[in-house]
Structure 1
Amino acid sequence: MFLLPPSDSAETSNTAIFYTEAALHSLLGALTSETYDDPTQHLEREQALAKQFAEILHFTLRFDELKMTNPAIQNDFSYYRRTLSRMRINNVPAECENEVNNELANRISLFYADATPMLKALSDGTTKFVSENKNLPIENTTDCLSTMASVCKVMLETPEYRSRFASEETVSFCLRVMVGVIILYDYVHPVGAFAKSSKIDMKGCIKVLKDQPPNSVEGLLNALRYTTKHLNDESTNKTIKSMLQ
């Protein structure tokens, strides 16, 4: 019997998470290490770093969109593990050099079990960054995130700016970055992105999403519905909740 494992892509995914988290910590450290009066001007001065951070967010949201379109992947990996286990019991050698050991298999199973594994890793990584850097005012991080959300929203909703986009892929890039920073903000801000005191215009951001072709943003709307932390809080504005229903 020939058994081809889905291990290559899974190991690649785990490697991607490791390097993504490492890059995230480095970028957040550089973008939030100093206190500044104007977050927008600060991001303008650090455009190269902000662009790299945006690339990570874009990759994360795109990865999870693709993962969500392949729901059978978790069952496929479970089948692979069961089959491999039976082969070991029956002393049947696997005709493959990339057999997954139990430790890695457990990590892969946990990875596949989450609906948005990369986004979870990024949210956890951002929360960890804040908790490990208590000497930094949390506003340094939340202001950076809220400013990026605002910049994306303005670029998407203003015809003058949007007309400069080279392609629809640029639109998708901005949409994913906007949603990504909203979710990170919701995790690290004490009361989240949906509170009245939030510096993110959630109604405006959701409107921008809903103004796009539905099939192009459903995954992003679902990310706001199901992977944010504070959407279902009692304090969340009812209008915002209804916009995401």
Structure 2
Amino acid sequence: THSNKQTLLYVNLEVVIMGNLIKVLTRDIDNNAGNFFLDFENAQPTEAERAVWVQVNEVLMEALAILDDLQSYNGAGEEIRQAIQNPSEDQVQERAWAAVVPLVGKLKKFYEFSLRLEGSLHGLLKALTSARCSPTQHLEQEQALARQFAEILHFTLRFDELKMTNPAIQNDFSYYRRTLNRMRINNVAAEEENEVNNELANRMSLFYANATPMLKTLSDATTKFVSDNTDLPIENTTDCLCTMASVCKVMLETPEYRSRFASEDTVSFCLRVMVGVIILYDYVHPAGAFVKSSKIEMKGCIKVLKDQPQSSVEGLLNALRYTTKHLNDETTSKQIKNMLQVN
């Protein structure tokens, strides 16, 4: 009997020790979030990732064409100026309209793409935030999907940078809407013939009125994902975002990781992705990214940004200054505000 009790005691001790060991190992994995190399350059999908990867890849291929179109967008400024200065000259008005219509067709394409981007983001978030494993394990094991998530963020910030520095977009669209309203009053049939009718123009106007329209699309989409998936704890999403931020920060500040980048472009890619996930986290997490209890190490992230050449990161620092939700809250430390030069 004594021997049986002793054996049982040893078994129970082993169970306790193994349980504690598993807890320690799991905690180390989660606390170590970011201390691994995420191959943004070469990650390829596994069979388990392929179905989602193929769907998202189609959208990402289109994203490249969207950026090319936006980068070459010159606007119809001269034709519009002539039309405003010569309101009674029909030929001048027709010339301006003919110049603006195809440009608004491009703007329509950009807007419709933002809706498809939202769908792709939902698919990726569903895969990367499932309860199957921890956020760190998801990103380590599903690197191809993590890479696609990063590419969406990179596209988003790049699109908004180009949009913000091109006033022709707002000018062209404003002229189109004014002219469309005149046509609607004078001739309803003519308005219906246009590729962008009044109802679509109203939706597009809300999109382009935002300083960073693609980032707003992603922020709203991430918030909607959390509210729609009530069976999924919000931490699954916020932990995925903060882990991605940590991964980027560690790769950028650790020489042995950074030396593995085949291209210097990967540095700017990582910086954009880090800022993108910080902004999404700040919108989705109730307390935001800048509060003391935030799982994102904000001071370290800002330091990584400020360690780069100023010309290459000023737009990203401005994104943190002006497009986040909680930076100006009282809970944000003075040190962080000073680092971002916010009063």
Fold match by TM threshold 0.5: yes
- Indicate if the aligned counterparts of 2:180 and 2:198 stay in contact, CA closer than 8 A: no
What is the rounded CA distance, in whole Å, between the counterparts of 2:198 and 2:239 in structure 1?
A: 42
Matches within 5 A, 1:1-245: 1-2=94-95, 3=97, 4=99, 5=101, 6-34=103-131, 36=133, 38-87=134-183, 99-245=195-341
Of residues 145-154 and 158-167 in structure 1, the stretch that sits farther from structure 2 once superposed is 158-167
Deviation, 1:218, is 1.3
- Indicate if the aligned counterparts of 1:17 and 1:121 stay in contact, CA closer than 8 A: yes
What is the rounded CA distance, in whole Å, between the counterparts of 2:110 and 2:337 in structure 1?
A: 33
What is the rounded CA distance, in whole Å, between the counterparts of 1:232 and 1:130 in structure 2?
A: 24
Deviation, 1:99, is 4.0
Q: Would you say how many aligned residue pairs link Structure 1 and Structure 2? A: 242
Aligned-pair Cα RMSD in Å: 1.9
Deviation, 1:40, is 2.0
**Structure with the greater relative contact order (CA < 8 A, sep ≥ 6): 1 or 2?**
1
What is the rounded CA distance, in whole Å, between the counterparts of 1:88 and 1:128 in structure 2?
A: 35
What is the rounded CA distance, in whole Å, between the counterparts of 2:184 and 2:137 in structure 1?
A: 60
Q: Higher helix proportion, which one?
A: 2
Look up the SS of the partner of 1:64 in the other structure.
helix
What is the rounded CA distance, in whole Å, between the counterparts of 1:176 and 1:98 in structure 2?
A: 37
What is the rounded CA distance, in whole Å, between the counterparts of 2:130 and 2:206 in structure 1?
A: 33
- Indicate if the aligned counterparts of 2:104 and 2:172 stay in contact, CA closer than 8 A: no
Deviation, 1:227, is 1.1
Please list every run of 5 or more consecutive structure 1 residues that lacks an aligned counterpart in the other structure. none
What is the rounded CA distance, in whole Å, between the counterparts of 1:110 and 1:62 in structure 2?
A: 20
Deviation, 1:168, is 2.6
What is the rounded CA distance, in whole Å, between the counterparts of 2:138 and 2:183 in structure 1?
A: 58
Of residues 214-223 and 146-155 in structure 1, the stretch that sits farther from structure 2 once superposed is 214-223
Change (3 A) 1:131 1:87: closer
- Indicate if the aligned counterparts of 2:282 and 2:325 stay in contact, CA closer than 8 A: yes
- Indicate if the aligned counterparts of 2:248 and 2:271 stay in contact, CA closer than 8 A: yes
Sequence identity percentage: 79
Structure 2 residue identity aligned to 1:60: T
Q: TM-score, normalised by structure 1?
A: 0.92
Of residues 8-17 and 75-84 in structure 1, the stretch that sits farther from structure 2 once superposed is 75-84
Offset from partner CA, 1:75-110 (integer Å, 9 cap, x none): 22111222344455566x98xx75420011111211
What is the rounded CA distance, in whole Å, between the counterparts of 1:49 and 1:83 in structure 2?
A: 44
- Indicate if the aligned counterparts of 1:35 and 1:140 stay in contact, CA closer than 8 A: no
Of residues 169-178 and 75-84 in structure 1, the stretch that sits farther from structure 2 once superposed is 75-84
